Structure 1
Amino acid sequence: MSRELARRIAFTIGALLLFRLGTQIPIAGLDVSSFSPRPDLIARLSPFALGLIPYLTAAILIRLLSVVWRRLNTIERSGEGGRRRIARATLGLTLVLACFQAYGIATGLMGIEGLVNNLDGSFVITATASMVGGVFVLVWLSEQITRYGIGNGLALILSVGFLVSIPRDVAGILELMRTGAVSSNLVLAYAVFWIVTVAVIVLVEGARRNVRVEFGALTVGSRQLSARAGVLPIKLNSAGFLIPVTVAPWIFFLPLAFAGFILGGDHPLVAAAYRHLQLGQPAHMILVSIAVFVLAFVYTAYVVDPEHTAKSLVQRDGTIPGVAPGEATADYLDRVVSLTTVVGAVYLTALQLIPEVFELYGIDLPYSMIVDGGAALVVVGTALDIKTQVRDVSLTNPGGVRR
């Protein structure tokens, strides 16, 4: 192991330990003595109680705006200055969302008898400030991990949040098996199912459709570079998971919330719609699946912009064999990306359906055991990213030169 790799691993471990330590420190002014046997509940009452949710929500909203608002899209693609402006806008929206969520939690805690030591208004202010500050500490910590550690900081913090509950959940399931409350066959079926699911995630996330590209001769200073060939890799799942799955429920829940505001929440049509759109209901499964499938195409078209890629190839004197530069290349890439995305969209839809199918058929275990395809995808994707970075750091000299 190289010294640089050891330093990065040590930094990452230290940062994650700092994150876990913060989840065990309760918000000032709370009497958590009754929760001492339940560290998972204490974590929900810590300054890190909001986690990275406000930041991720803000990032998703900004990214959605850039998809439909060309000016914002231009700013994002305008280089380092544009990316800094987008980052500032994301942090500003994060502050608004975090304040709103933290205030709601703080006022809710005031209503729990015996939990808050001081019931005057100062607790709401200090608790809100603590949780908002905790969000920005986690954002800063994730950036430090990405810059000085191994892996993507945001994904690592999210993955640790998923993984820490597994030992406790497994121990609880084993205890239920011992007492006969849960069938061993059910637990075995769950284990086999998730092994197969993880294997599929690894296969799909590593899969690429490579489009061959040829570059012409290039003069760099006094050097003459000969013509060369390369590939343009297109992922099966270019859309990721968070945006399609997060945005999909908004498509019908936002109009439903508006209808409830106009007609009243107790209106028979609104009440029936909410009832049929609960998790595990057939209507919810069908509508969300269609929305995820369509959003996978929409967001992939933004991430892998065929027109932008075609222009970049022209600027670098690159061509796809047998395809004319410019508009013809953009059309060709659009067809390739669309056909490739069909596989990715089906894959994302299937992952999103896992907890709903379990809920529909009543085969849930009493513990999570990562019964969420999104959590599994985040964890596996993070592990693959770490593997790639470890290999790259191991093969790079301190000066940044490949060995």
Structure 2
Amino acid sequence: MVRLSIFALGILPYLNAAIVIRLLTLVWRRLNALERSGERGRRSIARYTLILTLVFSTFQAYGYASAIQTIPALVPDPDEWPVLAATTSIVGGVFVLVWLSEQMTRYGIGNGLALILSANFLVSIPRNIAGIMELLQQGAISGNLVLGHVVFWIVTVVVIVLVEGARRNIRVQFGARSVGTRQLPVRDAMLPIKLNSAGFLLPVTVAPWIFFLPLAFAGFVVGGDHPLVAAAYQHLQLGQPVHMILVSIAVFVLAFVYTAYVVDPEYTAKSLAQRDGAIPGVAPGEATADYLDRVVSLTTVVGAVYLTALQLIPEVFELYGMALPYSMVVSGGALLVVVCTALDIKTQVRDVSLTNPGGVRR
């Protein structure tokens, strides 16, 4: 109820829709080909994402408006509460944020969706700090625990910056070719592969779906009060060992699955062959794809462990009794989104500052 406004749902329906569409591109070859077909295909994907956003936001907004109707302090006369009008307003708020994020991406610096998500995380920090300081003054928590958390998060920021900037560079050699009357000589280039090519949002967002969607279906069929369903829900709560183990395995596997899509070795090998490029000492075609697959797999092990560790931070604090109030809000995932957004803005600002109005680097 604190967020009772037309922006009550934030931009999460759009984020969830984008993740679902991205998952479909992993398993539906036709959609995958559409995304790789150029600008027209990307526009079609964006249109499908908006349609799915409308479905998600309408469903959530209707549930939100219906829930408000049952609170007498907010709605004294439920018969006069316009559920349809409230639902429409909340859905409109979602699409205003979607439009704003697209304008920020198009005309500003940085990714609009990431900026809005980062702002959502950052605005909660002053309130969390104030709450922790109040408890510290009251003696409810120790100063050493607070200092330990401060040091831990500073170290975590440093680790995120180092890992997100790390690359495994593969040397690629392009053959000589003619462009008009010019003869371009043999040239070398680097094919960079990130340690964390999967990002954070898709693996960590989808991992709980693997367990909770079947569990929700089982609760719908046999009833939520069934002993097995109730026990499963109890063990899958945040901070429970079973939840930590299962979600960690899911995040680790999803990091590999999504990296295989982002850095498709077969597609990359085919693109290199079309441009007369080759990895020195590796035959073109299938041998190049196998080599890239090995390199990407070994690199992704580090990235998957890194993502899993970030995802576990708040739960480990909770499990071992080292958590501070609101520690679930200030999580490794939120910190990763904020740091990556800042790094992205830094890169784009640097590119702009190194380029003159004619588009040529100084």
TM-score, scaled to structure 2 = 0.97
Match of 1:98 among 57, 75, 92: 57
Report whether the alignment pairs 1:332 with 2:267: no
Aligned to 1:344: 303
Aligned to 1:107: 66
Structure 1 residue 122: deviation in Å? Answer: 5.3
1:134-173 alignment to 2 at 5 Å? 134-173=93-132
Write the deviation string for residues 254-286 of structure 1: whole angstroms up to 9, x where unpaired: 222222223222222211111111111111111
Q: Is the CA contact 2:172–2:190 (under 8 Å) kept in the aligned structure 1?
A: yes
Write the deviation string for residues 339-392 of structure 1: whole angstroms up to 9, x where unpaired: 000000000000111111122123222234853111000000001001100100
Helix, strand or coil: the match of 1:177? helix
Amino acid at match of 1:225: L
Match of 2:87 among 112, 115, 128: 128
Report whether the alignment pairs 1:396 with 2:355: yes
Structure 1 residue 121: deviation in Å? Answer: 5.4
C-alpha distance in 2 between matches for 1:211 and 1:380: 26
Aligned to 1:265: 224
Helix, strand or coil: the match of 1:84? helix
Helix, strand or coil: the match of 1:322? coil
1:75-94 alignment to 2 at 5 Å? 75-94=34-53
Match of 2:194 among 232, 235, 250: 235
C-alpha distance in 1 between matches for 2:332 and 2:288: 35
Match of 1:52 among 11, 22, 40: 11
Q: Is the CA contact 2:174–2:278 (under 8 Å) kept in the aligned structure 1?
A: yes
TM-score, scaled to structure 1 = 0.87
Report whether the alignment pairs 1:295 with 2:254: yes
Structure 1 residue 176: deviation in Å? Answer: 1.7
Aligned to 2:31: 72
C-alpha distance in 2 between matches for 1:50 and 1:273: 28
Amino acid at match of 2:175: G
Structure 1 residue 140: deviation in Å? Answer: 1.0
Range moving further from structure 2, 232-241 or 268-277? 268-277
Amino acid at match of 1:305: D
Structure 1 unaligned segments of length 5 or more: list them: 1-40
Structure 2 unaligned segments of length 5 or more: list them: none
C-alpha distance in 2 between matches for 1:106 and 1:91: 22
Amino acid at match of 1:137: V
Helix, strand or coil: the match of 1:231? strand
Structure 1 residue 179: deviation in Å? Answer: 1.8
Aligned to 1:364: 323
Structure 1 residue 399: deviation in Å? Answer: 2.4
Helix, strand or coil: the match of 1:230? strand
Structure 1 residue 120: deviation in Å? Answer: 3.5
1:32-47 alignment to 2 at 5 Å? 42=2, 44-47=3-6
Match of 1:304 among 252, 263, 273: 263
Write the deviation string for residues 298-351 of structure 1: whole angstroms up to 9, x where unpaired: 000001000110111011111000001111101100000000000000000001
Aligned to 1:276: 235
Helix, strand or coil: the match of 1:364? coil
Aligned to 1:256: 215
1:171-250 alignment to 2 at 5 Å? 171-250=130-209
C-alpha distance in 1 between matches for 2:39 and 2:284: 28
C-alpha distance in 2 between matches for 1:85 and 1:243: 21
Change (3 A) 1:320 1:156: same
Q: Is the CA contact 1:292–1:348 (under 8 Å) kept in the aligned structure 2?
A: yes
C-alpha distance in 2 between matches for 1:369 and 1:99: 28
Q: Is the CA contact 1:354–1:371 (under 8 Å) kept in the aligned structure 2?
A: no
Q: Is the CA contact 2:314–2:328 (under 8 Å) kept in the aligned structure 1?
A: no
C-alpha distance in 2 between matches for 1:361 and 1:258: 32
Q: Is the CA contact 2:197–2:303 (under 8 Å) kept in the aligned structure 1?
A: yes
Q: Is the CA contact 1:166–1:369 (under 8 Å) kept in the aligned structure 2?
A: no
Helix, strand or coil: the match of 1:214? strand
Q: Is the CA contact 2:125–2:330 (under 8 Å) kept in the aligned structure 1?
A: no
C-alpha distance in 1 between matches for 2:131 and 2:306: 31
C-alpha distance in 2 between matches for 1:122 and 1:274: 34
Structure 1 residue 235: deviation in Å? Answer: 0.4
Structure 1 residue 249: deviation in Å? Answer: 1.1
Helix, strand or coil: the match of 2:152? helix
Aligned residues: 362
Range moving further from structure 2, 171-180 or 98-107? 171-180
Amino acid at match of 1:397: N
C-alpha distance in 1 between matches for 2:332 and 2:276: 42
Runs of 4+ in 1 over 6 A off after TM superposition: none
